[in-house]
Structure 1
Amino acid sequence: MQAIALGLLLFMAVVFVLSFALQERLPWLGFVRAASEGGMVGALADWFAVTALFRHPLGIRIPHTNLISEKKDEIGEGLGSFIEENFLADDVVHDKLAEIQGARRAGEWLVERPHAEHVSGMAASAGLGALTVLDDNDVRDLIEGLVRRHVVDPEWGPLLGRAAESFLDGDHHQALIDLAAERLEQWLVEHPQAFDSVVSSRLPSWVPSVVDRFVDGRLHAEAVRFAQSVAEDRDHPFRRAASRFFADLARDLQQQPELQAQLESFKHEVFDSPRIRKLAASTWTTARAALVEMLEDPGSELRERITTALQDFGRRLLADTTLQYKIDVWVMDVVEYLVHTYRHDLASVVTDTVQRWDAQEAAEKIELQIGKDLQFIRINGTVIGSLAGLAIFTFATFVIAPLA
């Protein structure tokens, strides 16, 4: 574009020279000379104006030239203020967000499986990044602290007592008794020798073997019948005794300091610090390995569930206009708050960036962006100058000269 503008200037200069030299013999060339003379004046004036924005014309330090380099910081501040006041204004942001209808568009986008898989992959990458950044020792300390705070430190007695009471009130202990009686009966039937050996070992050594076998058989049969009757009879004395035992235990856990102290001592003996740390380390190592494996595998159940959940959420967004409205309002509130609070900081990005530029670099960057259009000013100046010169010469020739 600079070459075109310069070519027009040179063309006007050549036309001027030729017309000026021949106008004595060819009077009509006076009009051509006036037009070319005006074109040169217009081209030179606009060349000076355009060049003065970015550098000193011909290297001469004329006042009020090289404006962009000289006023770089002020230009940056002006651009930042312009963006802040016209693009980040509260009403502009609100109106633009109101037009977007982001929730509905998000729903339309998420229902398509490739998009949901893409978001799932992004979530997996974020999860893997978080797992990579997390320090294993810090996580173990966190797990240990949580276990100690929520499991070890609270008193177990009252808590277990209340849980046992709730368990008894719902008559859930009967299912445990059923299970225990059925398992006992099954074991006795399947392992009579083991039962017999236990009973025989308690009899004196002088008792004849015939008596041993009789006692073993008799007691084994009675034990089987006992287990059967407990399983079948909902009002069996053993069931009543067990209910009373559990009720007394639940009450004592809440009311007897001695029992509570014994339970606390047992708890701290089991959950001492080294064991908790080992449990925390083992838990985190296992969980981390499982998470990494599932997050890295696009076909894992976890990734599939995330993808399905995203599609379901997208379908719900499309079907539920109330949810769309709530999400849109929430997003608008968040964005408007952020823009209102950090509007100046956002606009200062432009200001700070321009101020960090080298002065000459800033002029070159801006010239590359708008210089092509500015060259049209030179071209238009040449054309308009030519028409103006022709008009002035014509007016002077046909109006002013006859009056003189």
Structure 2
Amino acid sequence: MRAIATGLLIIMAVVFVVSRSYEGGHAAIGFIRAFSEAAMIGALADWFAVTALFRHPLGIAIPHTAIIPNNKDRIADTLAQFLKTNFLIPQVVARRMGGINLAQAIGDFLVQPGRVATSQLRTGVMNLVAEILESLDPDRLGAQVKAGLRHQLEKIAIAPALGGLLAAFIADRRHIPLMETMIRWAGNTLEQNEDLLRQMIHARTNAVLRWTGLDEKLANSVVNGLYRMLAEMLVDPAHPMRLRVQEGLESLADRLRNDPALQERVEGMKNDLLANPAVGDWWQGVWERLRRSMIDTARNPDGLSDHLGHSLAELGEALRRDQALQTQINRFFRRSAVAVTSRYGNQLVQLVSQTVRRWDATTITDRVEGAVGRDLQFIRINGTLVGGLVGLCIHGLELLVF
């Protein structure tokens, strides 16, 4: 459009030069010259006016030119005030929301024939989740999540919590299966390493015992004694060793809840563990696997997608049928919108103002000119044509009067 407007100005200049050369040859030449001359004046005047909005014409710093770049801060404040006055008012938001049955519209969308809407929403949600997870920096996000978890764990007094958990564990007798599992594990370990234990006993006996063969009897006695003790512990709930272990667990649970010295040591161990780089590396790997799993699920939802679509369709039917539910949901959205406007309206206005203020002169000029540039070039074209018509009128009046 800029090229068309400029080309029209050049055409008028050529017509003016040609008509000026043949002036006097015919009466119509005078009208052509008057039209082209006035058209050039109108085109140049409107070119100056349009250019002066965005920049200095021909680079000359004429006063009151480059209006938009020079006044971008005032434009930002005016735009923000316009939004605040005409849109971000709780009364206006409440009035607009009051005439909208948003709940029914959502229900209609979810239960369209063929479940097209449900499928679109399902696909859109899944793709949005996947794109968000893929766009986020995994290292940075993992570090932020890790820092957040560490901050929360640092605030938790872990010793009393462990003590309460252990006490409840013992009170419900849930420690017994674990104890029996440990006894069986000890028996299996002893069986797998019996030869090694016998060799250790042989190696630690003196030469006399080995010469007399008593070391073998001693090894048999030790091994058989261990087997017998483990078997008795496994079958006898009242075995002294089992009772001793239970007493130790009960004492530990009580100390974790009431012993400041032990609590301090446990907290120190917790903080050392959280500060260990190996724990951070482990969590980073866990987070990355979790993130990739969520992305794969979102990209290939299969059964999860079908279940979600069915649930959304049922929700849509409920929203369409239940008037009371519609009223509650619409009231919730209306109150939420009013609350957001009341609480954050000024912040939104300031965001608009500060954003425009941060734009440099070139940015705001390009954006405004890109939005209304075609219409501004039509002003130049209209100025050319209107100027030419005014020139015809003036030339005609001149001939009639003079």
- Aligned with residue 386 of structure 1, among 385, 388, 393: 388
1:57-101 Cα shifts (integer Å, max 9, x gaps)? 112211111111111111111122222222323344234333442
Measure, in 2, the Cα distance between the counterparts of 1:75 and 1:333: 32
**What amino acid maps onto 2:98 in structure 1?**
A
Larger Rg: 1 or 2?
A: 1
Gaps of 5+ in 1: 161-264, 278-284
| Aligned twin of 2:34 | 34
State the secondary structure of the residue aligned to 1:63.
coil
1:325 maps to 2:323: no
| Aligned twin of 2:354 | 352
CA contact 1:152–1:267 (8 Å) conserved in 2: no
CA contact 1:52–1:67 (8 Å) conserved in 2: yes
State the secondary structure of the residue aligned to 1:17.
helix
1:333-376 Cα shifts (integer Å, max 9, x gaps)? 11111112222221222221221111133222222221221011
**What amino acid maps onto 2:20 in structure 1?**
F
CA contact 1:69–1:363 (8 Å) conserved in 2: yes
1:316 maps to 2:324: no
Measure, in 2, the Cα distance between the counterparts of 1:48 and 1:40: 12
| Aligned twin of 2:374 | 372
| Aligned twin of 1:219 | none
Measure, in 1, the Cα distance between the counterparts of 2:61 and 2:133: 60
| Aligned twin of 2:93 | 93
CA contact 2:87–2:93 (8 Å) conserved in 1: yes
| Aligned twin of 2:222 | none
| Aligned twin of 2:48 | 48
CA contact 2:88–2:345 (8 Å) conserved in 1: yes
State the secondary structure of the residue aligned to 2:27.
coil
Name the CA shift for 1:307/1:147 in 2 (closer, same or farther; >3 Å).
Answer: farther
Measure, in 1, the Cα distance between the counterparts of 2:309 and 2:159: 31
Aligned pair count?
A: 289
Measure, in 2, the Cα distance between the counterparts of 1:148 and 1:382: 85
| Aligned twin of 1:66 | 66
**What amino acid maps onto 1:366 in structure 2?**
V
Measure, in 1, the Cα distance between the counterparts of 2:127 and 2:366: 42
**What amino acid maps onto 2:63 in structure 1?**
P
1:393 positional shift: 1.4
State the secondary structure of the residue aligned to 1:312.
helix
State the secondary structure of the residue aligned to 2:88.
coil
Alignment of structure 1 residues 5-404 onto 2, 5 Å: 5-111=5-111, 112=115, 113-114=118-119, 115-116=121-122, 119=125, 134-135=145-146, 148=161, 273=256, 297=297, 308-398=310-400, 400-401=401-402
TM-score (norm 2): 0.58
| Aligned twin of 2:181 | none
| Aligned twin of 2:179 | none
Q: What is the alpha-carbon root mean square deviation over aligned residues?
A: 4.6
| Aligned twin of 1:191 | none
1:331 positional shift: 0.7
TM-score (norm 1): 0.58
Identical-pair percentage: 35
Measure, in 2, the Cα distance between the counterparts of 1:307 and 1:272: 53
**What amino acid maps onto 1:40 in structure 2?**
M
